[in-house]
Amino acid sequence: MIKKNIWRLCFIADSEAAADEDVLRLIRRAALGGATMIQLRGKAWTTRQFLAIGREAGQILMKRRIPLIINDRVDIALACPSSGVHLGQLDMPISEARRILGRRALIGISASTPAEARRAEREGADYLGVGPIFETASKKGLPKALGIAGFKAICRLVGIPVLAIGGISRSNVLEIMKAGADGVAVISAISSAHSPVQAARELSEIISRYENRPSRNGVIPRRGLARP
């Protein structure tokens, strides 16, 4: 059983961005600080390395009811205690991933254009990772940054949860939430911070204050909910 509002703060635990920092240690610290979802990414890992780390990460996060999402690798997602997979535009089609992982698995898709976002929703994605919003050095070969206006346009097109990614920090997370995000996905904002726990906590607190702001009808409802 996982928490319902899982979209607000996703930490992407990336093997390359972690540098000398142990990935599992970073995952523990991000979770302690308030991360609500962890995506595990290991482009340079062997299959056995990825599986071993994925299994340990899954055990850590199960105790906190925080979903573990595996980047790209449907086989790893199936073999370890994960909640699903996050796929890129050139990875396995959503329909095949769904057939392998089952109806209850969370399947996210990266999208950088309105067409990609609409297609992912039509094909059954549970959520989108949209970006890059701003320029970022965390990943090479990314499309041109969308900016706030481009991101807002995509949010208006789809009804599934949208996580913003790319160059997100404490200084701009509020602007991103106001643009229509259901949450944010970050790498260096946590992994490169002097205190990953404090960095995650500060981001989580900013998002929480935005989510719980008063409106004429009480608390503004969130669009993004996890599968029951």
pLDDT tens per residue, range 40-66: 999 989 999 999 999 999 999 999 999
* Residue at 208 is within a domain: yes
Q: Indicate if 63 belongs to the active site.
A: no
Confidence (pLDDT) at 137: 65
* Residue at 3 is within a domain: no
Q: What is the pLDDT of residues 73-115, one digit of tens each?
A: 999 999 999 999 999 999 999 999 999 999 999 999 999 999 9
| CA gap 222, 198 in Å, rounded | 25
How would DSSP label each residue in 48-99? Answer: HHHHHHHHHHHHHHHTTT--EEEES-HHHHHHTT-SEEEE-TTSS-HHHHHH
Mean pLDDT over the full length of the chain: 90
Position 215 pLDDT exceeds 80: no
* Residue at 140 is within a domain: yes
Give me the domain span that covers residue 62: 9-212
Confidence (pLDDT) at 47: 96
Which is the catalytic residue, given 28, 29, 98, 110?
110
* Residue at 126 is within a domain: yes
Confidence (pLDDT) at 20: 64
Q: Indicate if 99 belongs to the active site.
A: no
CATH assignment at residue 168: 3.20.20.70
Among 62, 15, 17, CA closest to 193: 17
Q: What band does 222 get if pLDDT is binned at 50, 70 and 90?
A: very low
* Residue at 228 is within a domain: no
Which is the catalytic residue, given 55, 118, 139, 227?
139
Q: Indicate if 55 belongs to the active site.
A: no
Confidence (pLDDT) at 154: 97
Look at the chain and report how many structural domains it folds into: 1
Q: What is the pLDDT of residues 164-187, one digit of tens each?
A: 999 999 999 999 999 999 999 999
Which is the catalytic residue, given 41, 83, 98, 191?
41
* Residue at 135 is within a domain: yes
This prediction's pTM: 0.91
- 115-141 mean pLDDT: 89
Q: What is the pLDDT of residues 138-168, one digit of tens each?
A: 556 667 899 999 999 999 999 999 999 999 9
Confidence (pLDDT) at 141: 62
